[in-house]
Each structure stands twice: as structure tokens, then as C-alpha cells.
Structure 1
Amino acid sequence: MTTDTGSGGAGPGLETEPAGGAGTGPVVTPSWRGGFGRLWSAAVLSRFGDALRGAALPLLAVRLTDDPLLVSLVTACGYLPWLLFGLVGGAVADRVDQRRAMWAVDVARAVLMAAFAVAVVADRAAIVLLLVLAFALTTLQTLFDNAATALLPTVVPGPALSSANARLMTGQQLAASFAAAPLVPVVLALNAGAPYLLNALTYLVAALLVASLRAPVSRPSRPGGRTLRRDIAEGVGALWRDRVLRSLCLGDALASVGMGALIAMLVVHVTDWLAAGESGYAAVLTAYGAGSVAGGLVAGRVTRWLGQARALVLLMVGQIGCLLVLGSVRHLAAAVVALGIFGVAGMIWNVTEVTMMQQRSPAGMLGRVSAASRTLSAGSAPLGAVLGGLAAGLWGPHTPVLLTAALFLAAVPVLIPALRAPDTGTAPPAGP
């Protein structure tokens, strides 16, 4: 986060907390009152419902079919819409009222989930229905996520963006890892359709919270007759012209390939190479979740102390070290510690990257810039999953982790141009 909190004090809607180090100044945080509290509640509630559905859906898939390819296609359908519609979703998010787009999408998702819950209860669910549901939900998500990224800076003043992003992501991680995950067996015991019905309810409540926001949404006027294609091209061009955002996007794409390999093969790494079984797998996931929460709590202070770009490079180097330990030390305790620290660094990275994008994107173009970056990132992860599977088959179950480390290492020099830019946290002027 930028070290400049503004010459006029904290400003309306802000609170300050003592900084973690000498000479860093106060950490500016968003007020829970008003728009941010409602937006945070909506985001955390939606993530809670999504986590319930995300845990229950694979179990339903393997019950409906024993074909591994069909099961894997459910995951693939969760990525494909980003490649097909991600850029369009960003362009639309910059054209419309983001609040209205978000609550309308949540209502649509609630209807889909309620209908799916009825199908599950009536024993009418088939694997094809799961594929269609995954594709439809992610298609709607391309608009929702880009609109949410563009909306936050209108609800929270600029100096508090880093803290706001950290609180949002930390709350979502807590909801997914420590609230939803333990409840999945309980909810499934009630009824096979219960997780999906509960997810529909969380969408409805989140829609009401977002619809109640009163923060004005201001977007620069756009000449009539503009096409979505031109809007998309402007967003991609703005991302590419800004050397900081460009380096972040390319570095993130390389890291996403590695994360695809890591996520796809982590269960094999733990249960096969470490011989730690399902309990060991649960332990490393819990460590990663706890580390992510801890990272969210300190993200603002870390970036204020190191500077945004420098923090990103150092975090990447730290994650490489964690991956090397994970891929070379054949002991569960080492894996738990490594993934815990990996989670801390990963959360701080995510908070910092999103904040920098919000700060540096030209006015009225944040949805499109965010979409361009997310589309490349989402398209990279499936490639990593395939590479991870190939590496495990050819050289052993621990090699996907080492492959991830190599890809993270390749991303470090890509991030170097970001270090040469001033850490001002201000958006550059829009391009021609």
C-alpha cells in the first residue's frame, strides 16, 4: 500500500490504527459503517455458500459417474467461461451500474441454485446438469467479479483500499475454510440438496445487501455508438501500456500455471509421496487456510513497510522457498509449515495485486483491466493442471511441486519492471 495517506488526514469513512513499524505512519482502514460493511457482509456470505456448494458438488459428481474425464469436465466448465466471456464481463461491468449488476447476478444465481437443489432432492440430477450448472455459474461470475472489483473504490476512499481488500479476502477465507468446510458433512446429512439450497439463500441475502448500498457510482461518459469490442481493446491496451500492471499480469500468469499444477496434484503429493493419508491432506489444507487468514491480517502493514512492488517480489521469493521445502522434505510437519507460510505470502500477494490494479487503472476502465488480467490467469491454471499431471506420471508425485517452484522462479524477473515505478498508488492517465 502507498505510504501517502493524504494531506488532509484520514478523511470521511476512514479509521486509523497504529502502524506496525516505526516511521511508517498510521494504517488507514475503512469504516465498517455504511457501504463497506454491507459489501463485506455480502462477499463473505456468498463465499460461505459457494464453499458449501464447492465441497458438495464433487461428491455428487463421483456418485453420478465413475468416468474420471466427466468428473474433471465439471472443474473445466468452471474455468472455460473466463476464457470465453471474461473480457466481455469486464467491458459490461464498466458500462453499467456495478451495484445493479451484482445484485441482479446474485438473484440469477439464487434461482439456478434453488432449481438445482430441487433436481437433486427429486433425484433428477445428472452429470450433464452439473456441467451446465458449473458453466452457467461461472459465466455469471465473470460479470459479478469484475463489477465487484470496480465497485470497491467507489465505496472505500483510496488510502483505505489495501486494508479493505485485506478484510474482504480474509473474511472470505475464514468463511470458506473455517465456517463452511466443517459444516459440509452436517448439511449433507440433513438432505442431499441442502448445500445447494443454502447457497441459493446466501445469494439472495447478498443481493439484498448489495442493492441497499447508497454509495454513488460515477463513470466517465462514453461517446455513443461504441462497441464492446472497442471497449475490450481499450482495457487490454491500458493494461499493456502500464509497465507495472503488465509485469504483474504476466508474472501472475506464470504463477497461475504453477498453482494449477500444485492444486491438481497436491492430494497425490500428500497421500502418495508423503504417505500421510486423508488426515494429512486435511492438515495441509487447514495450514494453508490459517496462513491465508494470517496474511490478510498483516497485508497492509507488510506493503506499507516494504512498498507494494518490492513486497510482491520478496513474497514470490519466499513462496519459492516454501515450495522447495514442500517438494524435497518428505515429512508431513514440514509440509504443514511450508504451506502455512505459503498461504501467508499468497494472501498478501493477492491483496497487494488487486489494490495496485484498483489504484493504477485509468478512470472508468477498472472492470476491463481487471477482466484482461483475470482471463489470462484463469486460462493459465488448466494448463498447469495438465502439466502437473504429466510431471507426476513421468517423474514422480513430488515433481509438480518442484515444477511450480520453477514457474514461480521464472515469474520473478518478469516482476522486476514494477520495482522501477514510484510506489504512489495513483492511477495513470487514460490512454488515447
Structure 2
Amino acid sequence: MFITRAISVTNFFVASSALAFQVGVLYPWHKQLDDDFEALKKEHLRVLGSIKGAAKGVTEDASAEKRQGLRDMLSSLGRWSFMIGHSPASPSSPPSLVAATEIHHVPKPSIAKSWNTSHDLTLYSRYALAGAVCCSFTHAILTPIDIVKTRIQVDPVAYNHGITGGLRRVVAQEGAGALTTGLGPTFAGYFLQGAFKFGGYEFLKTRTIDILGYETARDNRYAIYLGASALAEIAGDIVLCPFEAVRIRLVSQPGFGRGLLDGFAGIVRQEGIRGLYCGLGPIMLKQVPYTMATFVVYEHALEQAYKWVDKSTVSGTAVTGINLGSGLIAGIAATLVSQPADTILSKINKEKGQAGEGTIRRLWKIAGETGLRGSYAGVGARLVMVGGMTAIQFAIYGDVKKALGATGGIEIK
């Protein structure tokens, strides 16, 4: 009941905040931008008309007063051009009217354009699809290792011989088919989570740059990486949580169900909808710090790598290699940060709580029983799994973006 109400209140708060932000900020802002643009267009045309008329009257013996008036009009044009993202003519430009009135585009993001073109919807949909593909694929192929990692966390006494020993024990006791247990909820859950995580990150990062301006964003880029990744991951966790609950129950309790739908039905039948979200707190404690560490370390690693090589000249294979290496470093850092919460998540989803026992009380109880050392049980398996998975994720994400033509995003350099 607590989780259900919390989710309802959270959804209501998020929806209300979004609606209030759109009505109170974005619509007035958009209207003001439209009005300013129309006024700017009229003034721009007026000034260009004045320049054209002045050009016809300029002769070799034109008076100093006329030349000064022409310079004033050009200066006015320069100031208006700067307001719409253009730079005025350089004082060192050739002394011709065409050169003097040439407008150079400054590649800064435009809020009006960002909110009023269908291009952005297509672009972020491609980011989301690339993220869905890379997350679902990497989690699916690492299902056997994830099974062993979960078994070590929930039963460290029986599974105390590492990854190889754990794999052998699962096959010996349950057959090779047991290594694919939970594949359905893993693929479906991380497909949705990857779409929200990567697509949301790119969207929020770009919107923040639009609002702050490029120069301010560059000086605060790590805060932007952390904030955008955290919000994107929270959205991803909400859709992932039910699938992760089913996966862990299938893995930790052999015979609980035959697959995704059967697992969903079993949990709902025994515990209601609340049972699907009992791990929402732990999954956020695990995934949000994990994702924040992943993106900020990955972006920093890329930044350092491209200080040594020119991205515009390196081959596609080299770019994939850089993404792979940066992702590996990010995955190792993120694993160490999120391991304790991952252990608690496995334990809380292993079985239903006692009657009348709230989620917060269960979390404290499990954390107390596990201890710091116990919370890092299975960290070796998870370093292999998450480190390799994150590296492959970013490599695939970069290649899928390229294949889908997902270009046009903003990079902070």
C-alpha cells in the first residue's frame, strides 16, 4: 500500500509539475520568442532596405555625414544580428557593402527551434532506440553471469566458488537451460529502461544547454551530466522495476514460474501489484548512482581521449574502440559505487516480506544483516559482467546511433 500510494503521489507530482512548467514557462516563453522574432524580422528588413538605398547614393565624393550614417546603420544591423545568434561583420572585413552585411551563423542551440521542429522528436526517438537496443542486447547475452551473481548474493554459502564454480553448480543441479532463466524479463525490462536512460539523458542534456547557454553549460558540464543522467535513470527505473522483480524471483526461486508472464502473474497473485514495486527503492539506490557514475566517467574519459586524437580524422573503428575503452572505465567505477544496493535489491526480491513489515523496515533489516563486507558479495562476478557490459553498451550505442543517422546532438567540449 505504501509503495502504491508513493508511486501514485510521485506520478501526480511529476505530471503536475510538468504541466505547470509547460503552461507557466514554456508557452509564455514560446509566445514571447515568436513576437520578438517577428519584430526582429521587420527591423532586419527595414535596415537592409536602408542599406540598399544608401548604397545607391554612395559615390566617391559622398559627404562624411552620409558615410557616418551608413556606418551607424551597419552597426545597428550588427547588434540585431547578434541577438538572433549571428555575429556582426568584422571591422577588418573588406570595404564592400556585401562583405560588411554578411551574417555568420554561430553554432549555438536555439530554444525556439528545439521546441518547434519535428526533427528533434525524430532525433531523440533514435537515441532512445539505440539505447534500448544496446541495453537489452548486453543484459540478455550476460544472463548466465547475472544468474550466478544473483545466486551468490542470495546464497553465498552454497555459491562460494566464483563465477565458473557457480555456472557449473547451476548446470549440474538444474541443467544448461537454467542459464537462460529470467531472459524474458531481462530483455523486455532493459529494452524499456535503455530507451528512457539514453534517450532521456540526451534530451535533458540538450535542454539544459539550451536554457543555460553553451558557455555556462561548458563550465558546469559535470553537474549537467550528473543531473541529466539521474533524472533519466529515475524514469527508466520506474518501468524496469516490475521486470527486475520477476527476473530475480525466477532466478532465486527455481520453479517459481515458467517465464515473464507466468512470473508476473505469480507475484501479483501472491502479493498484489505492490510486490512488483517492493524493490523500487533499492533499484533506484543502485541504478541512479550507477548511471550517474557511468555517464560522468564516460564523458570525462571521452574528453581526455579526444585531447590526444582529432575526432574528425579518426576512423570509425577507432571511434568504436574509444567508446569501448571509455565504457569499460565507466563500468568499473559504476560497479563499485552501486554494488551494496545491488546486493540488497537481490535479497529483498528473493522472497516476500513478513506480514505487516514495511519496505523501509525490510531495507534496514537486510542492510544490518548483510553488513558492508557482505554487501560486496558477488562483486567479482559483477565487475566482469557490468564492466564488460557497459563497455559493449557504449560501443553499440555509438554504432547504432551512427547507423540510424542520430546526428545533430550537442557535445560539450
TM-score by length of 2: 0.30
Larger Rg: 2
TM-score by length of 1: 0.29
The structure with higher relative contact order (CA 8 Å, sep 6+) is 1
